[in-house]
Structure 1
Amino acid sequence: MKFTKLIPFVVFTLVAGAGTAQAQEGEAEERDKKGFLTGSFETNNIYFVKEDIEVPGQKTPDDRFGSNNYLKVDYIRSKFSAGVQLESYLPVIQDYPAEFTGTKLTNIYASWVDDSFSITAGSFYEQFGSGLLFRAWEDRALGINNSLMGARFTYNYKNYVALKAIWGTPRFGMEYDTGVQFRGLDLSLNISEMYGAKKSTLLLEGSVLNHYQSVPQSYENGMSPNVTGWSARVNYENGGFMAKAEYVDNGTNYFPNTEMSSEDPREFVGKRGNAQLLELGYSNNGLGIFLTGRRFEWMYSKFDRTSSSAANVYNYLPAVTMQYTYLLTNLHPYTPLTQDSRNGEIGGQADIYYNVKRGTWLGGRRGLKLHANFSTYYSLAGKGNARADKLMFRDFSADIEKQWTRAFKMNLLYSMQERNTDYGATAKTELAHIVVGDFLYKFTPRFSLRLELQYLTSKEGDKDWMAGLLEASFAPKWSIFVSDMYNHGNDAEANRLHYYSGGVSFAHSHTRLSLSYGRNRAGYVCSGGVCRIISAYTGANFAMTISF
């Protein structure tokens, strides 16, 4: 690793530190009059170590160092704001999209926000409805930043009508793809406000989006440069009850022709995407019930039809399942069926919470929290219908949280997960049972220990796993942890490996630092129901965030 690679990192750190000092020294009144700077700096770094033993799915890059860095600075004065984002990949961390490379000022914007309208020029993010039709967003854990460079206008009339209009070209890696354009409108009508309803809320909403990309001559074969989609939505709330429904017509997107022949020489074929989403919820007196149903087909929306990059996406199709945080429950998270000839799924989720009151025979002195979740998804039996075919994923979980004393807290969880190992090509599935115990004990107001004990048993795949984590917290600044996952049940003795990790974190004021070292299993990094595939690696991780 050359020292010159660290120069942008050092500059980023100094600038962020100077910004923090400026923010702390400024007086609130002067900030309002003259405006003020705010922002953040984030750096994530991995030094990869090549092991002598063979670890399944392990890749060690030729350059053992990966570093992703982000500096964001915003100036705000009254209704006006402007900002920039500088990014540097020295080089990009392994398994992130390869389009992220070098150092560049990637985002720049200016915005005016008034009482009833706003105007933004430059880079911006936006979402229509749930994001099934359109979402431009940034998620650094996933390597996604598909902001638009263009203009956005919003208008709100007496809370009766809300309008959004956008135009722009999408960001792809470090550049904005000028060969692609998006034009869209989003409208929301607040029927309750119009008619003076006080106890309920009824919104009627709709969006239309046009996606333009010029078509190379070699790809023509009837391919249209314009794709126009639309969505219609209804949102209703009354007391503790809520209901949301959305229908999306995604227009005719183009996918690789898996049946290309001399009779059908087209490299791409048009498929009309559509999706339906229904959400129901009720919450009252400590009880919460939330139901979600979703069906879609051909909804994988790429702004560049010729690229297979994971960053090449302009809508949001998260897994609507239980989002776990424990090691063994996240070995095989569900990812929606979007990217091959079996392009579609149908399924749903039920989520139930109940807080048992204090002083009852079940709640005891400090109450009790109960939670259960069930989700299941199937591939579609043919196109244009709602018939389920092969099971893709099923999960049932139940957990309880109990505060036994002021010092001792306990969480217990059970999960039964069944997944299709061939992504719907066959009906083959694997079943796993997982149990987790999470125990926290506060010895003093500042010192606590947390222990996780986990076990997974399965007759298929990698078979049985065990895992544990011990974390010591010295509030409010220090935290130390050690963890290990052991695949002791694997049929192949060479794969009965320990995936160990240990680290320390420090937080003070607006700064947080963390340092860890360990062997990481090949699998997924997930955020908000969307996942990124990662290779196995052994190495040291250093991360720092500063806000100012």
Structure 2
Amino acid sequence: MGKINKKLWFAGALCLGLLFSGMAFAQTEEQQEGRDRGQFSGDFQTNVRFYQRDSLRGAAGIPFYDYLLYGVDSWLTLNYRVAGFDMGMRFDMFHNSNLFNPTREASKQGIGRWYIAKSVGKLDLAAGYLYDQFGSGTTFRAYEARLLGVDQSVLGIKAAYHLTPNWTIRGFTGKLKNQFKLDDIEQYRPILRGACIEGLVKLNTNAQIQPGVSAVSRTLDTKTMESVAQEINSYKLEDRFEPKYSTYLASVYNTLLVKNISWYVEGAFKTEDVVRDLTGKLFNPNRGYVLYSTATYSKKGFGLVLQGKYTSKFDFRIAPSEIQNAGLVHYLPSLTRLNTYRLTSRYNAATQLLGEVALQGDITYTPKKGVTFSLNVSDIFDPDNSDQLFRELYADVSLKPKDKKWKLNTGLQMVDYNQARFEQKGDFVNTLTPFAEWVYKFDKKKSIKAELSYMLTKRNYRLFGQEDPHPDKLQDLGDFAWALLEFDIAPHWSFTVANMWNVDNDIHYPTVGVFYTLKVTRLSVIYAKQPAGIVCTGGVCRFEPAFSGMRLDIATSF
């Protein structure tokens, strides 16, 4: 029996044993008390890709288009609750997947997660693959973002004790899952451990605070340390240093709630660690910092959000060998707007863990019913050299006239994007993107939606009179135009036709899609061509190569 089969057999046997033990226990309880028959729940998701080679659009020269031609990512989750026990397992299957490496296939399958949890009085216990976070995630966050290839779970044990109804202390220890290994499901070798205490204090009838303190530690194993030491010893003598086995993080955070005002503030500190600089070379900053704050104010017809973050050498990974999204133990959010339109979301800012100053403000104003104005400004720069990394100015207005069957959202976006920093190519991209979305309802079931947008590059040179030092050179791929038409027949059907046109290179990227929804089940079939780009969610980004082919997606829950 191979290594993978042994792991699969062991995990499956363990979960089934827990399941039948729980069912037997439940039957005993049921016979004694006549209640608690147990409850199953779960979900299923599969994403199938059929690759069609298209060298004109960059969909060539990698295994997916040259000879694999097919890939699938699937997840099946089963949860069972009975007699105070919560248990579950998730089967993961990746065949010729590009989730973890955009240019190299991953093929693996097995039990991607199992867990069992039980509450005993004021004590909550859990074992298996655990998801959790301390505060905003600055020191520790274990979570899943499967469409980005992230499954940052910890295989270990966790305990939480409720000191009072308003105060809880939690702790864990375990090993981080190595989701980015292409041929197996396993864990990293170094050990993680951490704890936090969080609570709630009511100051008066209109105000309360929610303070918290957390601490996390990572200890390198001997094999990982030997690899680090070997790389350090290959450097010039003046660049060598003595790495430490253990690194510690601590944070203090608090949320203040006063009527319509909410203010969150967090400060975090990190001891000496071995990390990689922007060139990939190891170095050992003796400390790292994060200061993060967000304040919100809301009342009828008005909302305001202000955010700020200062980061200095706060890259915390399970091992110094890991790069990009691999091996991250914590999470620092990107203070940028989450855009949903195709062209306004083309350029995104990945969180810069070694150093950034980020500021964001968002205002929403509704002067009367059916009219809403939105304004968002974000600015990110490098604190060490003041280099601009990202800047966005976004404004839109949404109109929904009373007693009318249509609604309109239209606006304008300007972006300054440091492509050299975020993608290690090119220079700066300066865009101006007007956009509009119009929806018309024929009746209660039928509606049509249209989107139009145009992304103009070299904005400062073409519109604001600055001299272009490279008039014959494009910024990235140049200008894009986007048009979409969607027809919906509620509650089941949706049909989409769209085209993304690279104007300067005169290349079209068409999309045709059919979507079917039946209660909680959704099926989609899409034929699409799309250019390469960076896909981000909350500052966690991955490079997505050009795509040409068909996508079949199925998702359901039960």
Q: Could you tell me whether the CA contact under 8 Å between 2:524 and 2:553 is conserved in 1? A: yes
- The equivalent of 2:191 in structure 1 is 181
Deviation at 1:33, TM superposition (A): 2.1
Q: Could you tell me whether the CA contact under 8 Å between 2:100 and 2:149 is conserved in 1? A: no
Where structure 2 has 5 or more consecutive residues not aligned to the other structure, the ranges are 1-7, 9-29, 230-240, 459-473
Distance 1:533 1:426 in 2: 13
Distance 1:258 1:92 in 2: 28
1:162 aligns with 2:168: yes
Distance 1:502 1:151 in 2: 47
Q: How does 1:27-176 map to 2 (within 5 A)?
A: 33-51=36-54, 53-55=56-58, 59=62, 61=64, 62-93=67-98, 96=101, 101-113=107-119, 116-173=122-179, 174-176=184-186
Deviation at 1:516, TM superposition (A): 0.2
Distance 1:444 1:78, change over 3 A: farther
- The equivalent of 1:390 in structure 2 is 387
Distance 1:89 1:430, change over 3 A: closer
Amino-acid identity (%): 24
Secondary structure of the residue aligned to 1:328 is: coil
Distance 1:188 1:371, change over 3 A: same
Question: Cα deviation per residue 1:263-294 (whole Å; 9 max; x = unaligned)?
Answer: xxx95434522110011111112211110000
- The equivalent of 1:502 in structure 2 is 512
- The equivalent of 1:18 in structure 2 is none
Q: Could you tell me whether the CA contact under 8 Å between 1:271 and 1:298 is conserved in 2? A: no
- The equivalent of 2:421 in structure 1 is 423
Q: Could you tell me whether the CA contact under 8 Å between 1:501 and 1:519 is conserved in 2? A: yes
- The equivalent of 1:386 in structure 2 is none
Q: Could you tell me whether the CA contact under 8 Å between 1:68 and 1:93 is conserved in 2? A: no
- The equivalent of 1:399 in structure 2 is 396
The residue identity in structure 1 corresponding to 2:251 is S
Distance 1:164 1:381 in 2: 36
- The equivalent of 2:384 in structure 1 is 381
The residue identity in structure 2 corresponding to 1:212 is T
Scaled by the length of structure 2, the TM-score of the pair is: 0.82
Question: Cα deviation per residue 1:425-482 (whole Å; 9 max; x = unaligned)?
Answer: 9996332111111000011111110000111112251332211110010100111101
1:232 aligns with 2:239: no
Distance 1:102 1:228, change over 3 A: same
Q: Structure 1 stretch 538-547 or stretch 269-278: which is displaced more?
A: 269-278
Q: Structure 1 stretch 227-236 or stretch 244-253: which is displaced more?
A: 244-253
Distance 1:46 1:218, change over 3 A: closer
Deviation at 1:180, TM superposition (A): 1.4
- The equivalent of 2:341 in structure 1 is 326
Aligned residue among 489, 494, 497 for 1:482: 497
Q: Structure 1 stretch 420-429 or stretch 245-254: which is displaced more?
A: 420-429
Distance 1:124 1:100 in 2: 24
- The equivalent of 1:199 in structure 2 is 206
Q: Could you tell me whether the CA contact under 8 Å between 1:219 and 1:268 is conserved in 2? A: no
The residue identity in structure 2 corresponding to 1:345 is E
Question: Cα deviation per residue 1:186-216 (whole Å; 9 max; x = unaligned)?
Answer: 1113232xx6x32111122110001111243
Secondary structure of the residue aligned to 2:341 is: coil
Deviation at 1:304, TM superposition (A): 2.3
The residue identity in structure 1 corresponding to 2:68 is D
Distance 1:345 1:355, change over 3 A: same
Distance 2:360 2:322 in 1: 32
Distance 1:438 1:58 in 2: 36
Aligned residue among 399, 404, 411 for 2:409: 411
Q: Could you tell me whether the CA contact under 8 Å between 1:455 and 1:465 is conserved in 2? A: yes
1:208 aligns with 2:205: no
Distance 1:91 1:232, change over 3 A: same
Distance 1:516 1:242, change over 3 A: same
Q: Could you tell me whether the CA contact under 8 Å between 1:452 and 1:468 is conserved in 2? A: yes
The residue identity in structure 1 corresponding to 2:357 is I
Secondary structure of the residue aligned to 2:36 is: helix
Deviation at 1:250, TM superposition (A): 2.5
Q: Could you tell me whether the CA contact under 8 Å between 1:46 and 1:93 is conserved in 2? A: no
The residue identity in structure 2 corresponding to 1:191 is V
Distance 2:35 2:42 in 1: 17
Secondary structure of the residue aligned to 2:128 is: strand
Secondary structure of the residue aligned to 1:101 is: strand
Secondary structure of the residue aligned to 1:430 is: strand
Distance 1:225 1:52, change over 3 A: closer
Scaled by the length of structure 1, the TM-score of the pair is: 0.84
1:368 aligns with 2:368: no
Distance 2:360 2:494 in 1: 35
Deviation at 1:379, TM superposition (A): 0.6
The residue identity in structure 1 corresponding to 2:411 is L
The residue identity in structure 2 corresponding to 1:356 is P
Deviation at 1:318, TM superposition (A): 2.7
The residue identity in structure 1 corresponding to 2:76 is L
Distance 1:138 1:240 in 2: 32
Deviation at 1:114, TM superposition (A): 5.6
In terms of fraction of residues, the more helix-rich structure is 2
Secondary structure of the residue aligned to 2:352 is: coil
How well do the aligned residues superpose, as a CA RMSD in angstroms? 2.6
| Matched residues, number | 490
Deviation at 1:164, TM superposition (A): 1.0
Distance 1:336 1:295 in 2: 11
1:354 aligns with 2:365: yes
Q: Could you tell me whether the CA contact under 8 Å between 1:390 and 1:426 is conserved in 2? A: no
Secondary structure of the residue aligned to 1:53 is: helix
- The equivalent of 2:261 in structure 1 is 241
The residue identity in structure 2 corresponding to 1:400 is V
Secondary structure of the residue aligned to 2:344 is: helix
